[in-house]
Amino acid sequence: MYYKKQGFPEEGEFILCTVKQVLHNSVFVSLDEYENKEGLIHISEISAGRIRNIRDYVREGKRIVCKVLKVNKEKGHIDLSLRRVSLQMKKNKEIEHMLEERAEKILESVAKLENKTIKEAYEIAGKKILQNYGSLQNFFLKLVEDNSIIKNLAIEDKKFENELLKIVKLKIKLPEVKIQKKLKLSSLEPSGITIIKQILLKALNFAKEKGINLTIKYASAPLYALKITSKDYKKAEEDFKLINSLIETEAKKLKTKFSLD
């Protein structure tokens, strides 16, 4: 990436690093996301347990994800840990960095259309975005949801602003989270089919009122495919609990067997 953060990382932050030098009991790395910053990983923070050969874990040129343990700004020392980074944390950081690289490519493509360099693009809009939204990707996602927030940046070059908005809307798609379950409804009542349709219709109408993206499709008696789509997992889970509670309540009221797989 072209852009590098100024200053020092925060303690507890997870950062991308590149191994520069491997010594007998420590490793020196460069901080990929920060301007001219290096850090040190003591052998005790490479991996849990005894380490026979430090090069079994790291080598020069390898990109790794580290956790910031301690920062001494006066001396310029940054102590890091490799062993305190779980596989999930590593994956999350790598995905975050990949998305930010893609976002920077969008900014760069706008710059090329306007015959400007990536450095000029950051001066026009990039630095303002980072200052107000933390990352380009975060801002672009919010921009797709609400075009008006671009006005908050007070970009003086309106042609650049319009082109940025156009390309972001074209290139950025909002992520979706889906929860899918098999819904089982059965009734021994003479009007059982009608009762089941009534329960499902009430769930769909409720979802529409609450702004829940719900679809229910017939699979094979007595199974139905229930799917909830949302922008984030927490919202999807909350929506699912509401729908599940409603269907369960209605099923009991109408003497209908109900279960979810």
Please state, in angstroms and rounded to a whole number, the distance separating the CA atoms of residues 7 and 175: 32
Q: Is 92 exposed, middle or buried (0-12, 13-18, 19+ CB in 10 A)?
A: middle
Identify the DSSP state of 223: E
Chain segment 49-89, per-residue pLDDT in tens: 899 999 999 999 999 999 999 999 999 999 999 999 999 99
Give the pLDDT band of residue 233 (cuts 50, 70, 90): confident
Asked if the domains 14-85 and 88-171 are classified in one and the same CATH topology, the answer is no
Which residues fall within 8 angstroms of residue 91, CB to CB, at 6 or more apart? none
Q: What pLDDT score was predicted for residue 234? A: 82
Radius of gyration from C-alpha coordinates of the chain? 26
Give the pLDDT band of residue 26 (cuts 50, 70, 90): very high
Give the pLDDT band of residue 212 (cuts 50, 70, 90): very high
User: Worst-scoring range by mean pLDDT, 34-48, 49-63, 121-135, 221-235?
Assistant: 221-235
Backbone angles phi, psi at 152, to 5 degrees: -65, -20
Q: Is the pLDDT of residue 113 over 90?
A: yes
- From the list 183, 251, 258, 254, the residue with the least C-alpha distance to 216 is 183
* Structural class in CATH, domain 88-171: mainly alpha
**Where are the chain's structural domains?**
14-85, 88-171, 177-260
Q: Kind of pairing, strands 26-31 and 63-72?
A: unpaired
CA distances (Å), origin 61, targets 28, 147, 185, 237: 11, 41, 58, 42
Q: Where are the extended beta strands (E) located within 63-199?
A: 63-72, 77-81, 177-186
Q: In terms of CATH architecture, what is 14-85?
A: Beta Barrel (2.40)
Residue 198 CA to chain centroid, in angstroms?
Answer: 38
* Structural class in CATH, domain 177-260: alpha beta
